[in-house]
Structure 1
Amino acid sequence: MGTDVDQRDFSREDRRRFREQVGRCTEAVARMLADGLFTDQGNPPEPLLGMEVELNLVDRAMNPAMSNATVLEAIADPDYQTELGQFNIEINVAPRPFVGADTVSLESSLRDSLNQAEARAASTDNHLVMIGMLPTLRQEHFAHQWISANPRYDLLNRQIFAARGEDIELDITGIPLVPGENPDRLRTSIDSILPEAACTSLQLHLRVAPESFADHWNAAQAISGVQVALAGNSPFLAGSALWHESRIPVFEQATDTRPQELINQGVRPRVWFGERWITNIFDLFEENTRYFPALLPVTTDDDPLAQLEAGDIPELTELRMHNGTVYRWNRPVYDVIDGQAHLRVENRVLPAGPTVVDVMANAAFYYGLLRGLVDAERPVWSQMSFDAAAENLHTAARDGMDCQLYWPTVGWVRPDELVLRRLLPIAEEGLAAFGVASDVRDRYLSVIEGRAITLQTGSVWQRSCVAAREEAGDSREVALSGMLSEYIERMHDGAAVHTWEL
């Protein structure tokens, strides 16, 4: 959700002071790295699986339900929090040890928590949906009035539009539902950042030692394309059939603070894959400080350098606030728990859903593949250009399992072939290195294997279902509502999406 802030206006002095504070925070990170002040420095932490899952709310008619305050009151669980749109909530899953068979207990607890939350939401005549983009969202649902009540969100909305100076333009040409037909094109102007709220994701956290952060971040960047190809679940928005993982372009466009003139000048976008492999986490914090003006310049009286001199670990509040408004697909995270600082890689490319077992399979594949690549004798990122990794992400988001990805020593290859022949064995080795039990590895990696064999992701199933309904005579609106109703039934049944039939 991000740090809460009060509604307010920012002065020029606020912005100057915030920039100065972020600079001091960045210098503090450099000193902490040099002086070995991170708790995991030289001592790799126990692997922990942590995740956030964003959810949508619908009413009986499958329309977006603008009821997150009512639903959260009914759920009454601090693990569930508000999100940007009134049709969103989020569950934060406390980190668990990623060893032995404990991962299956996480699956069970997540399923139980979601079932309980759904029962309580249903008592208010609302329902939870775990899906990358809610297919029944229409343009009228992006009106400013539907931003959640938390002042942070309206303030962020105002700051983005103040920086941009004009309405947000969404312009996405999709993939035809039926081969040979003309593609849909979503082209519209929006006066709020609520299209960002349409992009509901699965966010995976991994705590790492500072000296291995760069390897983990580089590996996460290298595999982002294949993650998205295997897990696409966001094909529809505002009645249009768009990309297999439309979250990627929608989020990039909905949070873009640049008017066209700055885009033409090559100013970096706020939703950013990056532009180079890194050698240190400091590279990322320094880029954030150098390239991106503040959106929420809220300052404290803390002096992080003086705190270090006094032997204290600084909270680095301004750095964390600024870092939270630079939307990297793999984000560096600085955190302090019980007076000890640590670092995490936050993976943000995946959509939510379709089922709990699919979510767990996506997580296991990511963590296992990441570990396997970090442990490899020759780093994969030393064998491919950064631009190839960025192109993989957008190609996979657009074409899903039909895309061609670049992979070192292989060249251009379909994701199913890459996964089956190369990446599943690496993920298996990585999970084993983490200490994950063999039956757990088999349970989750078999789901990934099943998607690669059947070529069916959540997006493929959604698109096929809507195409079949339209062929039977349904309008697009009716087809989307009917498909979503079926999707929710199967989501609750819990079978992995590659086994779903039309």
Structure 2
Amino acid sequence: MGEEVEAQEFTRADRTRHREKIRRCLDVLARMLRESRFDTDRPLTGMEVELNLIDAAGDPAPKNAEVLLAIDDPDFQTELGRFNVEINVAPAALADGALTGFETTLRDSLNAAEEHAAGVGAHLVMIGILPTLQAEHLGAEYLSDNPRYHLLSEQILAARGEDIAIRIAGPERLETTADSILPEAACTSTQFHVQTSPAEFAAYWNASQAIAAVQVAVAANSPYLLGRELWRETRLPLFEQSTDTRSEELKAQGVRPRVWFGERWITSVFDLFEENVRYFPALLPVVEEEDPLAELEAGRTPSLAELRLHNGTIYRWNRPVYDVVDDVPHLRVENRVLGAGPTVLDTVANAAFYFGLVRALAESERPLWSQMSFSAAEENVHTAAHHGIDALVYWPGLGHVRATELTLRRLLPLAHEGLERWGVAAAERDRYLGVIEQRCLTGVNGAEWFVRQVRARGGADRTQVLRDVLLDYRARMHTNEPVHTWH
């Protein structure tokens, strides 16, 4: 969930000092980019997966503290809600069999974690939104016991000046309010990381933005919230609304939201960090002692702590990341549009599709983003989230086309090509991209399977049906058979 902070109160003077310091960080970043001080020799990829916890009946289990204590593994960390945990997978080079390694590591780690969690009455589930969440689970008492989350909730509500309103219309309609940012905890995600050079960053970010809609369409996995059937990927509108610091008046004035697709194609990673500083007031104006310019001129690598913490409170669907490992800085694109699951195999297939496709498009002689407007890419994302695997999206040269047809005809060949450029073996490419192909041919992803099961079982007690289908889902998740094979 980002950098750790301690519980504290912020004064007006804190905010003034923070603004000055973060601008100094931005100046230092600009100089580092000019002087090519970044690790670019052997780009790595990585993954983070957020998970939900349920009890034996299928209801949320607010036990992440007990679960993490039982697991006792530093790769598992707390998340915003007490019914969430996160696992970080060590980065690796795709040419070294990273995709197979990600699958093996995730399966082994989750199997071991599940055994320990079961001992404290909890079970892990990979799904975008836990369909058995009830309104009472979105109260502030369900925030994890971590000062960062409580501070964020306080700061967002203070900036907004009123409770958070959630309004989502789909096959059914939901209107509710929340007095904390707990609805954000409902939005568990999978994050794919791809390291790039400064020179290549803009192309990778632009390509990630352009393909986000297709990713969402073929991998949608969160169709229910508070008992209602809403969008196929309800995470997107829920996340946008649950962290919105704007009042209705500020929205009308065109103030930008903190969950943001963006507003333009970029030419440098600096564009994104500069937008962060220009448009968004700090939610956590923590000022560290380090002088980034002094560090740089002393031959050391500055942490740019204020810039990084601020970046962690602006929730772009494709986020820029500045990080330092062994005193060497690097840049990554963090792709955040998807939820986890339904299985580990499905999740790694989603990763393979992203890593292959983003490289092929980033290295294309005629960039895709020179052929379509930014607003078209943004509209595509919301259309895909709403309709899932049946979505019609706009694509240059094709007009409006089914996302599945586009994937089969154009994008899977490109993903194969991109993975080959990464050095991924043919057998790995075929295994993981074959899962994406079969999803498109069968028209079944996680969201589609879940909705069909709920509708088929019917009954007056929607809550119990959702519990029953979720328990069935969890059992199938453990088989690691991809969702398109479920019946």
Matched letter for residue 482 of structure 2: A
How far does residue 100 in structure 1 lie from its aligned partner after superposition? 4.7
Structure 1 equivalent of residue 20 of structure 2 = 20
Q: Is the 8 A contact 2:103 2:345 kept in 1?
A: yes
- 2:369 & 2:196 partners in 1: Cα distance? 18
- 1:73 & 1:306 partners in 2: Cα distance? 40
1:251 aligns with 2:257: no
Matched letter for residue 48 of structure 2: E
- 1:336 & 1:288 partners in 2: Cα distance? 20
Structure 2 equivalent of residue 453 of structure 1 = 441
Structure 2 equivalent of residue 180 of structure 1 = none
Q: Is the 8 A contact 1:55 1:200 kept in 2?
A: yes
- Number of residues paired by the alignment? 487
Aligned match for 1:485, one of 457, 471, 476:
471
Q: Is the 8 A contact 1:47 1:434 kept in 2?
A: no
Aligned match for 1:443, one of 406, 410, 431:
431
Structure 2 equivalent of residue 7 of structure 1 = 7
Structure 2 equivalent of residue 498 of structure 1 = 484
- 1:106 & 1:170 partners in 2: Cα distance? 35
- 1:325 & 1:399 partners in 2: Cα distance? 28
Q: Is the 8 A contact 2:165 2:175 kept in 1?
A: yes
Q: Is the 8 A contact 1:137 1:237 kept in 2?
A: yes
Runs of 4+ residues over 3 Å off in structure 1 = none
1:240 aligns with 2:216: no
- 2:330 & 2:98 partners in 1: Cα distance? 23
- 1:496 & 1:115 partners in 2: Cα distance? 17
Matched letter for residue 313 of structure 1: T
Aligned match for 1:332, one of 297, 305, 320:
320
Note closer, same or farther for the CA distance 1:431–1:248 as it changes in structure 2 (3 Å cut): same
Residues 43-92 of structure 1, C-alpha deviations (whole Å, 9 max, x = no match): xx324220100000001111100100000011000000000000000000
Note closer, same or farther for the CA distance 1:84–1:102 as it changes in structure 2 (3 Å cut): closer
Q: Is the 8 A contact 2:56 2:121 kept in 1?
A: yes
Gaps in structure 2 of 5+ consecutive residues: none
Structure 2 equivalent of residue 167 of structure 1 = 163
How far does residue 309 in structure 1 lie from its aligned partner after superposition? 2.2
Matched letter for residue 376 of structure 1: S
- 2:39 & 2:45 partners in 1: Cα distance? 18
Residues 210-242 of structure 1, C-alpha deviations (whole Å, 9 max, x = no match): 100000000000000000000000000101101
What's the C-alpha RMSD, in Å, of the aligned pairs?
A: 0.9
Aligned match for 1:61, one of 57, 62, 66:
57
Structure 2 equivalent of residue 181 of structure 1 = none
Q: Is the 8 A contact 2:89 2:105 kept in 1?
A: no
Matched letter for residue 318 of structure 1: E
Aligned match for 2:102, one of 90, 101, 106:
106
- 1:224 & 1:39 partners in 2: Cα distance? 26
Q: Could you tell me the TM-score, scaled by structure 1's length?
A: 0.96
Matched letter for residue 27 of structure 1: D
How far does residue 102 in structure 1 lie from its aligned partner after superposition? 4.1
- 1:251 & 1:105 partners in 2: Cα distance? 30
How far does residue 311 in structure 1 lie from its aligned partner after superposition? 2.1
1:298 aligns with 2:294: no
- 1:33 & 1:195 partners in 2: Cα distance? 37
- 1:454 & 1:209 partners in 2: Cα distance? 38
Residues 87-110 of structure 1, C-alpha deviations (whole Å, 9 max, x = no match): 000000010221153421321121
Q: Is the 8 A contact 2:216 2:385 kept in 1?
A: yes
1:283 aligns with 2:283: no
- 2:101 & 2:256 partners in 1: Cα distance? 42
Gaps in structure 1 of 5+ consecutive residues: 177-183
- 2:97 & 2:272 partners in 1: Cα distance? 35
Q: Secondary structure at the match of 1:125?
A: coil
Structure 1 equivalent of residue 31 of structure 2 = 31
Q: Is the 8 A contact 1:229 1:397 kept in 2?
A: yes
Structure 2 equivalent of residue 89 of structure 1 = 85
* Identical aligned residues as a percent: 61
- 1:474 & 1:11 partners in 2: Cα distance? 53
Note closer, same or farther for the CA distance 1:8–1:100 as it changes in structure 2 (3 Å cut): closer
Q: Secondary structure at the match of 1:376?
A: coil
Residues 18-45 of structure 1, C-alpha deviations (whole Å, 9 max, x = no match): 11111010111110111112232xxxx3
1:274 aligns with 2:274: no
Q: Is the 8 A contact 1:100 1:437 kept in 2?
A: no
Structure 1 equivalent of residue 248 of structure 2 = 260
Structure 1 equivalent of residue 217 of structure 2 = 229
- 1:284 & 1:431 partners in 2: Cα distance? 27
Structure 2 equivalent of residue 141 of structure 1 = 137
- 1:47 & 1:35 partners in 2: Cα distance? 19
How far does residue 474 in structure 1 lie from its aligned partner after superposition? 4.6
